[in-house]
Chains A and B, each alone.
Chain A
């Protein structure tokens, strides 16, 4: 049925656009702004995840060893830890290496270090994990092993990180949902108005013997187009803004990892356009169901 008369539906929908140009313009602009905001949240969320993945590779547990540990004990320990689930890599840092690192990192205090007799730094094992959320459990499991002086990991930072990203993530979702509901209402409202504007056409069609769906389709297509056009404009704008911002950020913080791969951003575009179409359809559906009876 829809395909048979699609030309007519589209023509009537576009006729309605032409006649109420200003109202449709306002509606589409609102949808555009909403989708830009939602898109920004989506991009921030994606980038935080991307950043986390990058940071995760740097998170590690440092195990300080007792000075009297034997070579066999050390090897056993190293193998044991390496075989644990979630552990990616174990590196041994000898006392000497630790001291050299210290010297290298704090060259300006070289004099002070030279006064110190012997090497006070402990040897250590540096453990890289596969997943930052498992650091704590892995560290807890290692603590009880023999030959270990102390286990250190960056608990505070991780907790803060999850707190901040979690807040941004859920806050973004909540605001996005509110805005999307608002956009449904915007489209539903304009559909209600156009149903009123076209009440003569609707009455005539109904009295001529048009089915209810036949009468409804032009309005549904109208809503669909509003959502779709709004989303597409938002997408084009977001694309421009995003790469502009990414450029600026990378100039001032060059090592900050951001998503620049266009393929990785494709799902964002698809989601925005799909949700736009869906919302347009839904919004008009609500009004059409309520105001076009019999």
Chain B
């Protein structure tokens, strides 16, 4: 599902964020991307949804080499990838319902589809009763759930989450993790960038460890 061959990413300020990355993440896998701040985790995720292009090497998503993807095809790549951002990127002047509907509308869903999908994902993450609330009235965990709901509303093949438990207490973090396991069981490939040691250790999933842009460990059932 996700393959990288000899990928380097050097930012314009000449910081080498990733160096000679080779990975293969299969369909339906659940992967933790771990490492200290600045290791290159967010950069790794951005390469997958073509938020950035690699300086060198190939990124292949579902058999398509996206390093050379023409800009006009980027939207169609992204429709297959759900993203949960570290900074949430919610619209704070719109309700919970509208935030998800807006994401679906953006890819041309009909009003009928939108109503059905929003209801479905709100139920899944347990936010049905808050659908009319504005996001700033939600707790950190609820905002995170809203982001997940929006990301999976389109039923993407891949779900990328950047530090989903970054600022949450352990109980809420575990709740979020359960939710992600649940989504994974339904077939979605999940990549989580995290430096939440407790969470990663509890999950007992595949771990790809980055350090200063290098993969220093790739363990199918690792701990932090």
A210 at interface, CB cutoff 8 A: yes
B77: nearest residue on chain A (CB-CB)?
A209
Taken together as a complex, chains A and B put the C-alpha atoms of A211 and B105 apart, in Å, by 11
* Contact (A294, B107) CB under 8 Å given A207-B51, A208-B78: no
B75 at interface, CB cutoff 8 A: yes
* Contact (A210, B107) CB under 8 Å given A201-B91, A203-B89, A204-B91: yes
**Could you list 8 examples of A-B contacts with CB < 8 Å?**
A4-B108, A204-B103, A207-B78, A208-B78, A208-B106, A210-B75, A214-B108, A215-B106
Q: What is the CB-to-nearest-CB distance from B110 to chain A, in angstroms, rounded to a whole number?
A: 9
Residues of A within 8 A of B108 (CB): 4-5, 214
A200 at interface, CB cutoff 8 A: yes
Could you give, for residues 186-203 of chain A, a 1 whenever the CB lies within 8 Å of some chain B CB and a 0 otherwise? 000000000000001101
Could you give, for residues 208-244 of chain A, a 1 whenever the CB lies within 8 Å of some chain B CB and a 0 otherwise? 1111101100000000000000000000000000000
* Contact (A209, B79) CB under 8 Å given A204-B103, A204-B106: yes
Q: Is the CB of A209 within 8 A of B102?
A: no
Q: What is the CB-to-nearest-CB distance from A293 to chain B, in angstroms, rounded to a whole number?
A: 8
Could you give, for residues 88-129 of chain B, a 1 whenever the CB lies within 8 Å of some chain A CB and a 0 otherwise? 010100000000001101111000000000000000000000
Residues of B within 8 A of A167 (CB): none
Residues of B within 8 A of A203 (CB): 89
Residues of B within 8 A of A206 (CB): 75, 78
A205 at interface, CB cutoff 8 A: yes
B12 at interface, CB cutoff 8 A: no
Residues of A within 8 A of B72 (CB): 211-212
Residues of B in contact with A (beta carbons under 8 Å apart): 49, 51, 71-72, 74-79, 83, 85, 89, 91, 102-103, 105-108, 154
A8 at interface, CB cutoff 8 A: yes
Taken together as a complex, chains A and B put the C-alpha atoms of A125 and B143 apart, in Å, by 96
Residues of A within 8 A of B78 (CB): 206-209
B108: nearest residue on chain A (CB-CB)?
A5
Taken together as a complex, chains A and B put the C-alpha atoms of A80 and B71 apart, in Å, by 76
Given contacts A207-B85, A215-B106, 11 further A-B contacts (CB under 8 A): A5-B108, A204-B102, A208-B78, A208-B103, A208-B107, A209-B75, A209-B76, A212-B71, A212-B72, A212-B75, A214-B106
Q: Is the CB of A294 within 8 A of B106?
A: no
* Contact (A210, B106) CB under 8 Å given A200-B89, A201-B91: yes
Residues of B within 8 A of A208 (CB): 78-79, 103, 106-107, 154
- Chain A contact-residue range equals 10 to 19
Q: Is the CB of A207 within 8 A of B83?
A: yes
Residues of B within 8 A of A214 (CB): 106, 108
Taken together as a complex, chains A and B put the C-alpha atoms of A287 and B81 apart, in Å, by 29
Q: Which 9 A-B pairs have the closest CB atoms?
A: A209-B78, A209-B79, A210-B106, A205-B106, A209-B75, A208-B106, A208-B103, A211-B75, A209-B107
Taken together as a complex, chains A and B put the C-alpha atoms of A212 and B106 apart, in Å, by 10
Could you give, for residues 266-281 of chain A, a 1 whenever the CB lies within 8 Å of some chain B CB and a 0 otherwise? 0000000000000000
Taken together as a complex, chains A and B put the C-alpha atoms of A8 and B49 apart, in Å, by 26
Taken together as a complex, chains A and B put the C-alpha atoms of A262 and B62 apart, in Å, by 66
Could you give, for residues 1-26 of chain A, a 1 whenever the CB lies within 8 Å of some chain B CB and a 0 otherwise? 00011001000000000000000000
Residues of A within 8 A of B76 (CB): 209
Residues of B within 8 A of A8 (CB): 105
Residues of A within 8 A of B106 (CB): 204-205, 208-210, 214-215
Residues of B within 8 A of A207 (CB): 49, 51, 78, 83, 85, 89
Taken together as a complex, chains A and B put the C-alpha atoms of A214 and B85 apart, in Å, by 22
Q: What is the CB-to-nearest-CB distance from A208 to chain B, in angstroms, rounded to a whole number?
A: 5
Taken together as a complex, chains A and B put the C-alpha atoms of A64 and B14 apart, in Å, by 95
Taken together as a complex, chains A and B put the C-alpha atoms of A8 and B98 apart, in Å, by 12
Residues of A within 8 A of B74 (CB): 294
B150: nearest residue on chain A (CB-CB)?
A208
Q: What is the CB-to-nearest-CB distance from B3 to chain A, in angstroms, rounded to a whole number?
A: 21
Taken together as a complex, chains A and B put the C-alpha atoms of A170 and B102 apart, in Å, by 51
Q: What is the CB-to-nearest-CB distance from A194 to chain B, in angstroms, rounded to a whole number?
A: 15
Taken together as a complex, chains A and B put the C-alpha atoms of A210 and B74 apart, in Å, by 9
Residues of B within 8 A of A294 (CB): 71, 74
Taken together as a complex, chains A and B put the C-alpha atoms of A205 and B91 apart, in Å, by 11
Q: What is the CB-to-nearest-CB distance from B143 to chain A, in angstroms, rounded to a whole number?
A: 14
A202: nearest residue on chain B (CB-CB)?
B106
User: A205, A208, A214: which has the most chain B beta carbons within 10 Å?
Assistant: A208
B80: nearest residue on chain A (CB-CB)?
A209
A204: nearest residue on chain B (CB-CB)?
B89
Taken together as a complex, chains A and B put the C-alpha atoms of A200 and B105 apart, in Å, by 15
Taken together as a complex, chains A and B put the C-alpha atoms of A208 and B79 apart, in Å, by 6
